[in-house]
Amino acid sequence: MKKINLDDLPIKGKEPEVKNKPAQEIEKKKCCSFGKIKIGKKTKILFSFLAVIFIILAAFGGFLYISGRDLLAEKEPLLASFNQVKEAVKQQDLAKVKEGVLATKNSLAKVENKVEKIGWMKKLPFLGSYFSDLDHGFKAGSAGLEAVDLAVEALIPYADILGFSGAASATQSGKTTMDRITFIMTTLDKISPQFDQISEKLLTVKSEVDQIDEVRYPEDFQGKKVREIIKAAKLAVDQGANLMNDAKPLLEQLPKLLGMEKDQFYLIIFQNDAELRPTGGFMTAYGILKVSKGKISPLLSQDIYSLDARLSRTEAAPEALVKYLKLPYGDEARSGRTPQWRIRDMNLSPDFALAMEKFYTYYVRAAGNQTLTGILAIDTKVLTALLKIIGTVGVPEWGNFSAENDKRCDCPQVVYRLEELADKPISGVNLSRKAVITPLMHSILLNAFQSPKAKLPLLMEATLKSVYEKHFLVYLFDKEAQKAIEAFNLAGRIKEYSGDYLHLNDTSFTGAKSNLFIKQAVEQKIEFDNDGGLIKTVSVNYKNSFPASNCNLEKGGLCLNAPYRDWVRLYVPKGSTLISSNGFETEIKTYEELGKTVFEGFFGDKYPLRPQSSAKIVFKYKLPAEFNRNNSYSLMIQKQPGIEAYDYVVDYNGQKQEFELRTDKEIKF
């Protein structure tokens, strides 16, 4: 039996010894031999799939690059044609506007055509929403250009009158201003269909733009505030569409209101904004105007005190007059009598229509029933704006009036002269001396009608600006006509609004004309409380930079600038609750009026706003529960008539908007 050597048997887990090989070679194989790498079937499929995805993404990226490059190539022509339209509008050249609109339409069509080729991208996630926005933008732009085209066609018959060039006008340059006004009034009905078409196009623009969500875009990109630009564009489109819609009823009423069908008669009231009252100023004088086929003639001019002289009794004066106006109301109360509300102080409501309803009730008692169309109210800003265009005018028995600066008040000469006629002490009492307003208006309008054709567009612009800034207010007795006036914001109404709201209303109980020199700055700061509700702080700074007047009656000077006493009301959303206040001498009174919550206070007896000084008041309050951080925020600010402008800051949780407030303004964050 063969003997077995156990050392020669293979051991499991060890490589068998390789004989007859050099030791170095054996060692080399041990350290460097890995064998074959086996790739499984699943791994091969994964790599193949990734390769396909890479190829698709590369192709898609290349496609996007080429498409983007093609679109960018059309950017410059589109911008150039758009700028051509803007420049033509500035130059008031209708022919160039039409050329620019046509060029912009062509450029827009080219871009839109290229975008249509990649329209399928709207179905893609993420990118789809941006391509949809682009599509909405194109549709809005196209409808907007059509609206401009229609507007140009509507304006061509009036090009000569409105100061436009580059179009054959239906009027002749040699005709009088009255003839041109008559032409406008007698042809407005012919352009009514065009207004409907323009309004329809603007509503299309609004509908398309409203579908663009600015939240999808960055707040800032390459130094541009993208979201703010989109928001501002949407707001401008909304306002434009609303303006066109609101203007149509007024345009339909204008021929009737200007006496094209039959003569119209208006009560005109002069509100002295140098002595600020709720609807724009102290009612100084009144008159009657006849309007026949656009021609205005004065029939009567009286001092406002002549109406009070005819009324022995009216009704009990409101509490504010008794508390803060010593003469005559406070003295009457202290003597045990019931203070009677004077007609000159009946514009206490900040809503002009309601104030005029009250005023007219007692006007009829004092002056008798008259066939009137309505009431017009103007202030010194209207007179100054017109005089800047037509120059100095003379009024028999009253002298000359102009818009030139008078150093005695650093104000227009017409303002100083009117204050001088109204308030400067003279020998003897002459109640009719404030009655200059109607003859002055007649002289201004007469000069305007006889002015060169080139001044008519400027006069129209000044009139519209006075309306826009609430220096010219209207109240009409016909309900349909009043609706048209209200739609165009000519009526001085306190508006209903679903969002946040603010109306600051100051009433001067000074007697002097300090509002000539007072400038106001307002800051609204909106913050979130722990529950997400909105806390609002409204700060108002009053600054009077002019020296004090000599108000000594014995010296016979004109008392313009004196310590200022102010009855303040802040109108805010109904249901707001006051947290604190500062700067007042009385406890803040809270009540509801005109669908708003009102915070009322007063300062000026102990700590008046003196000449060459400043004062500050603060309201802090919580908005109703429906206003919270989870809902979108919008704000309506209604400017008080009579005030020229406020410096304004609105700070919504760190987002700021700064502007000069000259009219009602809506803000969105």
Tens digits of residue pLDDT in 53-84 = 555 445 445 444 444 555 555 567 777 777 87
In a domain, 44, yes or no: no
CATH code of the domain containing 423: 3.40.630
pLDDT at position 101 is: 81
Same domain, 64 and 179: yes
Q: Which amino acid is at 74?
A: E
Same domain, 245 and 293: no
In a domain, 82, yes or no: yes
pLDDT at position 163 is: 67
Q: How many CB atoms are located within 10 Å of the residue 502 CB?
A: 20
CATH code of the domain containing 561: 2.60.40
Task: Select, from the ranges 170-174, 242-246, 621-625, the one with the highest average predicted confidence (pLDDT).
Answer: 621-625
Structural domain that includes position 577: 500-668
Same domain, 389 and 538: no
- Mean pLDDT of the 584-613 span: 98
Of the three residues 255, 278, 313, the one that is the final residue of a domain is 255
Q: Which DSSP letter does residue 408 get?
A: T
Q: What is the pLDDT of residues 520-537, one digit of tens each?
A: 999 999 999 999 999 999
Q: Quickly state the pLDDT bin for 246 (edges 50, 70, 90).
A: confident
- Mean pLDDT of the 44-61 span: 51
Whether pLDDT at 513 is above 70: yes
Q: Are 362 and 347 in contact (CB under 8 A)?
A: no
Same domain, 244 and 268: no
pLDDT at position 306 is: 93
Q: Are 522 and 539 in contact (CB under 8 A)?
A: yes
Q: Of all residues in the chain, what percent are helix, strand and coil, respectively (each to 5)?
A: 45, 20, 30
Say how many Å lie between the first and final Cα of the chain, rounded: 106
Distance separating alpha carbons of residues 171 and 157, to the nearest angstrom: 7
What token pair was written down for 573?
């959303």
- Mean pLDDT of the 190-218 span: 83
Task: Select, from the ranges 53-62, 165-174, 231-240, 350-359, the one with the highest average predicted confidence (pLDDT).
Answer: 350-359
In a domain, 32, yes or no: no
Same domain, 518 and 616: yes
Distance separating alpha carbons of residues 279 and 329, to the nearest angstrom: 20
pLDDT at position 37 is: 52
Same domain, 117 and 200: yes
Count of domains for the chain: 3
Burial status of residue 551 (CB atoms within 10 A of its CB: 0-12, 13-18, 19 or more)? middle
In a domain, 128, yes or no: yes
pLDDT at position 81 is: 77
Q: Are 563 and 610 in contact (CB under 8 A)?
A: yes
Q: What is the pLDDT of residues 442-452, one digit of tens each?
A: 899 888 888 87
In a domain, 34, yes or no: no
Percentage of the chain modeled with pLDDT above 70: 81
Q: Which of 419, 394, 400 lies closest to 409 in space, CA to CA?
A: 419
* Number of residues in the chain: 669
Q: Which amino acid is at 258?
A: L
Whether pLDDT at 125 is above 80: no
Beta-carbon contacts of residue 514 (< 8 Å; ≥ 6 apart): 274, 275, 508, 544, 560, 561, 562, 563, 564, 609, 611
HEC profile of 347-386: CCCCCHHHHHHHHHHHHHHHHCCCCCCEEEEECHHHHHHH
The H-or-E segment that residue 268 falls in is: strand 264-272
193 vs 190: which has the higher pLDDT: 193
Of the three residues 198, 226, 255, the one that is the final residue of a domain is 255
Q: Are 165 and 460 in contact (CB under 8 A)?
A: no
Q: Which of 513, 257, 490 lies closest to 378 in space, CA to CA?
A: 490
Whether pLDDT at 174 is above 90: no
pLDDT at position 639 is: 98
pLDDT at position 44 is: 53
Same domain, 542 and 436: no
Same domain, 216 and 268: no
Q: What is the pLDDT of residues 132-144, one digit of tens each?
A: 887 888 788 888 8
Residue with tokens 């350290």: 31
Q: Are 158 and 94 in contact (CB under 8 A)?
A: no
Q: Are 471 and 341 in contact (CB under 8 A)?
A: no
pLDDT at position 431 is: 45
In a domain, 2, yes or no: no
Q: Quickly state the pLDDT bin for 126 (edges 50, 70, 90).
A: low
Same domain, 240 and 342: no
- Give phi and psi for 216, each to the nearest 5: -70, -15
- Mean pLDDT of the 174-182 span: 64
pLDDT at position 153 is: 82
155 vs 425: which has the higher pLDDT: 155
Q: How far is CA 236 from CA 210, 259, 365, 661, in A?
A: 11, 34, 46, 16
66 vs 608: which has the higher pLDDT: 608
Task: Select, from the ranges 27-36, 62-71, 165-174, 578-587, the one with the highest average predicted confidence (pLDDT).
Answer: 578-587
Same domain, 229 and 346: no
pLDDT at position 6 is: 47
Whether pLDDT at 109 is above 60: yes
pLDDT at position 146 is: 85
Average predicted confidence (pLDDT) for the chain: 84
The H-or-E segment that residue 504 falls in is: strand 500-508
Distance separating alpha carbons of residues 153 and 190, to the nearest angstrom: 12
pLDDT at position 39 is: 56
Q: Which DSSP letter does residue 493 get?
A: P
Burial status of residue 352 (CB atoms within 10 A of its CB: 0-12, 13-18, 19 or more)? buried
Q: Are 298 and 439 in contact (CB under 8 A)?
A: yes
Q: What stretches of 156-225 show up as alpha helix (H) in DSSP?
A: 159-162, 177-187, 192-210
Same domain, 406 and 553: no
Q: Quickly state the pLDDT bin for 594 (edges 50, 70, 90).
A: very high
Of the three residues 255, 282, 305, the one that is the final residue of a domain is 255
Q: How many CB atoms are located within 10 Å of the residue 278 CB?
A: 21
Whether pLDDT at 395 is above 70: yes
Beta strands in 136-176 (DSSP E): none
What token pair was written down for 45?
């499929």
Same domain, 535 and 453: no
pLDDT at position 427 is: 45
In a domain, 28, yes or no: no
637 vs 295: which has the higher pLDDT: 637
Q: What stretches of 375-423 show up as alpha helix (H) in DSSP?
A: 380-390, 413-423
573: preceding bond cis by omega (within 30 degrees) = no
Q: What is the pLDDT of residues 264-275, one digit of tens each?
A: 999 999 999 999
77 vs 368: which has the higher pLDDT: 368
In a domain, 332, yes or no: yes
Q: Are 293 and 259 in contact (CB under 8 A)?
A: yes
Torsion angle (degrees, nearest 10) of CA 436, 439, 444, 448: 170
